[in-house]
Amino acid sequence: MARYRTHSIEFKRQVAHEYLSGETLHGLAKRHDIQSQLIRVWVRKYEERALDEDAQAADLIQEYEARIAAL
């Protein structure tokens, strides 16, 4: 059975930042031993601020406030 590795949010941010700073997908994938498609996903999420813990927390707070207001 396959085991999936989990990567920290900080590691994902670091790899996405390295890519956006000019590193190649192939080079990053090889250096970190991860799929290039996974890097693309992380970069997209990084650009959408989905990897930003503070942004996620703020979105969650807004969602809870909306639920409370609906009561």
What domain count does the chain have? 1
Asked if the structure places residue 49 within a domain, the reply is yes
Asked if the structure places residue 3 within a domain, the reply is no
pLDDT in tens, 25-39: 999 999 999 999 999
Asked whether 20 and 46 are in contact (CB, 8 A), the reply is yes
pLDDT in tens, 2-60: 678 888 888 999 999 999 999 999 999 999 999 999 999 999 999 988 877 767 777 78
- Domain limits for position 33: 9-70
Asked if the structure places residue 17 within a domain, the reply is yes
Asked whether the whole model's pTM tops 0.85, one would answer no
Asked if the structure places residue 56 within a domain, the reply is yes
pLDDT of res. 52? 76
Asked if the structure places residue 58 within a domain, the reply is yes
Asked if the structure places residue 26 within a domain, the reply is yes
Asked if the structure places residue 64 within a domain, the reply is yes
